[in-house]
Amino acid sequence: MLLDDPRDCTHIMGETCTEPQKIGEPPVCTPVHVSDCPKGSSGFDLWGSALSWAPWVVTGILLLSVIALLVLFLIQMRRTRDAEAAAGKARADAVAWQAAANQAAAGGFSQSTVNELLELGDLTDSEAAKEKLSQVLAPSGVARMAVAAGDPFNDAWHRSVERRQATDHSQDRTIAAVLRDGYVSGSQVVRVADVAVWMAG
């Protein structure tokens, strides 16, 4: 307990007396002083000791606050940088699509450009984006291959990249799923479709 004032301590004054050794002699008494104050210190001393630690406590709290603010600042900077990077990529993709559309309108693409656009289309699973790619490629005569699950496997049009165990013999060598779109130009295959194939036995 911290004591604000020495008067908070309990002081008891009294005396201890012993019986006389001889009859007729007065008892021998000794003064007694009892105190519950800490030895060698007063309430003021304890309060002063506590105050001596106060600057260190305040400094520690301020330091922790500064560290917390710094961490929050770094997190916010990271989020802002990621958002700017995502926005920049979206703008770059939009510019690329527009450039492709302009080139298509001007007279079509070279084979290498078509391949690059197809690879770009592979980066997304969005059906809307794939439809947009088909529109961009249309002036060059390139179209998405019409292939769906259940169609017979044709190694001239399809490439089997995954085999699945058929549960019915009628499924044997039919397409289980289209894993990557194929493209054609008229009757010519520009790129085969990657598919999963049902196999019996």
State residue 102's pLDDT score.
60
Burial of 97 (0-12, 13-18, 19+ CB in 10 A): middle
Domain total of the chain: 1
Residue 109 included in any domain: no
Listed as own residue / partner, the contacts of 25-33 with beta carbons closer than 8 Å and 24 or more positions apart are: none
- Yes or no: say if 4 and 43 are a contact pair by the CB < 8 Å rule: yes
Would residue 95 count as lying in a domain?
A: no
Q: So what's the pLDDT on residue 29?
A: 72
pLDDT at residue 59 in the model: 85
d(CA 200, CA 48): 90
Q: What pLDDT, on the 0 to 100 scale, is given for residue 36?
A: 52
CB atoms within 10 A of CB 199: 16
Model pLDDT, residue 3: 40
Angle at alpha carbon of residue 23, lines to 22 and 24, rounded to 5°: 110
Q: Tell me which residue range forms the domain holding 201.
A: 145-201
| Ranges of residues in the chain whose predicted pLDDT is under 70 | 1-18, 20-22, 24, 31-51, 93-109
Q: Is residue 130 part of a domain?
A: no
Q: Is residue 171 one of the residues assigned to a domain?
A: yes
DSSP letters along 7-34, please? GGS-EEEEEEEE--SSTTSPPEEEEEEE
Q: The domain that contains 156 carries what CATH number? A: 2.30.22.10
What are the start-end ranges of the E strands in the chain?
A: 11-18, 28-35, 143-144, 158-165, 175-180, 183-185, 188-191, 193-199
Answer whether residue 155 is part of any domain.
Answer: yes
Give the pLDDT confidence score for residue 110 in this predicted structure. 72
The CA dihedral of 116, 117, 122, 127, to the nearest 10 degrees, is 180
199 part of a folded domain: yes
Is residue 94 assigned to a domain?
no
Bridging pattern class, strands 11-18 and 175-180: unpaired
Task: Evaluate whether residue 159 is within a structural domain.
Answer: yes
pLDDT tens-digit map of 129-149: 888 888 888 888 889 999 999
